């Protein structure tokens, strides 16, 4: 086991910049991130840029774990925190997470009305907004800049891959330059950006997945990153890639090694929002090992310790980050 202590972690077993650490440093205590279905659509589902959606996406738009997605927004909020309080009764501050589909894909008046419903709830101190880089018109960015003055704000941009051939294969319906332009628009207002990448997309090699991370941190001014494992879900178009043999599901060992390699490339000040993901047991095809989330996270910790390694080992923008 390593005897070194990583600066950006309040857990001695975590040698990476945890989301929990970032929140505690800002607010001094644990927060709940409360998932909300805002009732938005997606531009590559409704014909704005394409139809059919991303081939990996479920019918819920990646909001499978939300308790009552059709309930009014305030009811969703209170149901979610009631469930969370059963495990952590002492939490009093909340970060609202507009999670599924594209939460800036609407006129700014509609976006404002829906966001403000939940932001007005007691204890809400921040908001995290999942969206696409091609859904950031100027008036929406201006509203986000206003929110950034009033609340703790993250905008989570789904990039998934930096490779145009993969993007076309999964029907992403925007290119890499659109992502870079979107990040630049947000950073002009000092808005925190978290980029989502998916490991295990059809046709992508280990080298390509490492390159996705390298390009993302080199080309764009981001403050956070989410690394997802590809979940193959029932009733998704990606089933065609699996049946044809174009998609090979990752093993746990390969995924853990890849994540550790990626962490070593990421500057230590970048917040790691996620290293794996959740999927409903009744709709996932694989990899089934991913359902044991804590085993995966523990395996990542153990592999970093075995390597005597840490986030940013090979890409540090600071002096004495790891002491």
Q: How many Cβ atoms are within 10 Å of 138's Cβ, its own excluded?
A: 9
Q: What is the pTM of this model?
A: 0.93
- Which of 49-53, 69-73, 313-317 is most confident? 49-53
Question: 199 and 251 in contact (C-beta within 8 Å)?
Answer: no
Spatial CB neighbours of 180, under 8 Å, sequence gap ≥ 6: 219, 220
Q: Over the chain, what is the mean pLDDT?
A: 91
Give me the domain span that covers residue 66.
19-312
Asked if the structure places residue 254 within a domain, the reply is: yes
List pLDDT tens digits, range 285-307.
999 999 999 999 999 999 999 99
> What CATH number does the domain containing 63 carry?
3.20.20
Asked if the structure places residue 234 within a domain, the reply is: yes
Asked if the structure places residue 317 within a domain, the reply is: no
Q: What does residue 187 show for φ and ψ, rounded to 5 degrees? A: -70, -20
Residue 48: pLDDT band (50, 70, 90) is: very high
Q: How many residues does the structure list for the chain?
A: 323
pLDDT of residue 192: 98
pLDDT of residue 58: 73
Residue 67: pLDDT band (50, 70, 90) is: low
Give the integer Cα–Cα distance in Å for 144 and 167: 27
Give the integer Cα–Cα distance in Å for 27 and 33: 13
Spatial CB neighbours of 268, under 8 Å, sequence gap ≥ 6: 6, 7, 8, 16, 17, 310, 311, 312, 316, 317, 318, 321, 322
Peptide bond preceding 287 in cis form (omega within 30 of 0): yes
List pLDDT tens digits, range 206-247.
999 999 999 999 999 999 999 999 999 988 889 888 888 889
pLDDT of residue 323: 39
Q: How many domains does the chain have?
A: 1
Question: 78 and 95 in contact (C-beta within 8 Å)?
Answer: no
Give the integer Cα–Cα distance in Å for 263 and 15: 9
Cα separation of the two ends of the chain: 15
Asked if the structure places residue 252 within a domain, the reply is: yes
Asked if the structure places residue 137 within a domain, the reply is: yes
Asked if the structure places residue 102 within a domain, the reply is: yes
Q: How many Cβ atoms are within 10 Å of 302's Cβ, its own excluded?
A: 14
- According to DSSP, the β-strands at 232-233 and 284-286 are antiparallel
pLDDT of residue 319: 43
Give the integer Cα–Cα distance in Å for 99 and 145: 19
Asked if the structure places residue 2 within a domain, the reply is: no
Mean pLDDT across 270-291: 91
Burial class (CB within 10 angstroms; exposed 0-12, middle 13-18, buried 19+) of 36: buried
Give the integer Cα–Cα distance in Å for 205 and 225: 20
Coil, helix or strand for 298?
helix
How much of the chain is in helix, strand and coil states, percent to nearest 5? 35, 15, 45
Judged against a pLDDT cut of 50, whether residue 190 lies above it is answered with: yes
Mean pLDDT across 135-148: 98
Asked if the structure places residue 187 within a domain, the reply is: yes
């Amino acid at each position: 086991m390593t005897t070194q202590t990583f600066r950006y972690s309040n857990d001695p077993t975590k040698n990476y910049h945890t989301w929990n650490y970032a929140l505690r440093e800002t607010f001094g205590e644990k927060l709940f991130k409360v998932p909300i279905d805002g009732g938005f659509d997606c531009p590559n589902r409704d014909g704005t840029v394409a139809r059919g959606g991303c081939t990996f996406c479920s019918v819920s738009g990646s909001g499978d774990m939300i308790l009552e997605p059709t309930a009014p927004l305030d009811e969703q909020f209170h149901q979610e925190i009631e469930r969370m309080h059963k495990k952590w009764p002492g939490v009093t501050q909340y970060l609202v997470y507009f999670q599924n589909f594209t939460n800036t894909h609407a006129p700014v008046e509609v976006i404002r009305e829906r966001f403000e419903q939940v932001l007005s709830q007691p204890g809400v101190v921040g908001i995290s907004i999942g969206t696409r880089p091609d859904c950031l018109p100027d008036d929406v960015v201006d509203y986000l800049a206003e929110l950034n003055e009033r609340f703790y704000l993250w905008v989570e941009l789904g990039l998934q891959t930096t490779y145009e051939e993969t993007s076309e294969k999964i029907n992403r319906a925007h290119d890499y330059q659109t992502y870079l332009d979107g990040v630049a628009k947000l950073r002009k207002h000092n808005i925190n950006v978290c980029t989502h990448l998916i490991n295990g997309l059809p046709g992508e090699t280990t080298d390509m997945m490492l390159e996705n991370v390298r390009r993302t941190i080199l080309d764009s001014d981001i403050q956070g990153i989410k690394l997802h494992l590809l979940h193959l879900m029932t009733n998704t178009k990606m089933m065609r890639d699996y049946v044809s043999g174009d998609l090979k599901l990752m093993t746990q060992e390969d995924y853990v090694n890849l994540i550790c390699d990626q962490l070593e490339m990421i500057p230590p000040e970048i917040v790691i929002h996620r290293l794996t993901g959740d999927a409903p047991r009744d709709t996932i095809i694989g990899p089934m090992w991913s359902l044991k989330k804590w085993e995966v996270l523990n395996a990542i910790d153990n592999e970093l310790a075995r390597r005597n390694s840490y986030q940013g080992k090979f890409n540090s923008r600071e002096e004495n980050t790891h002491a």
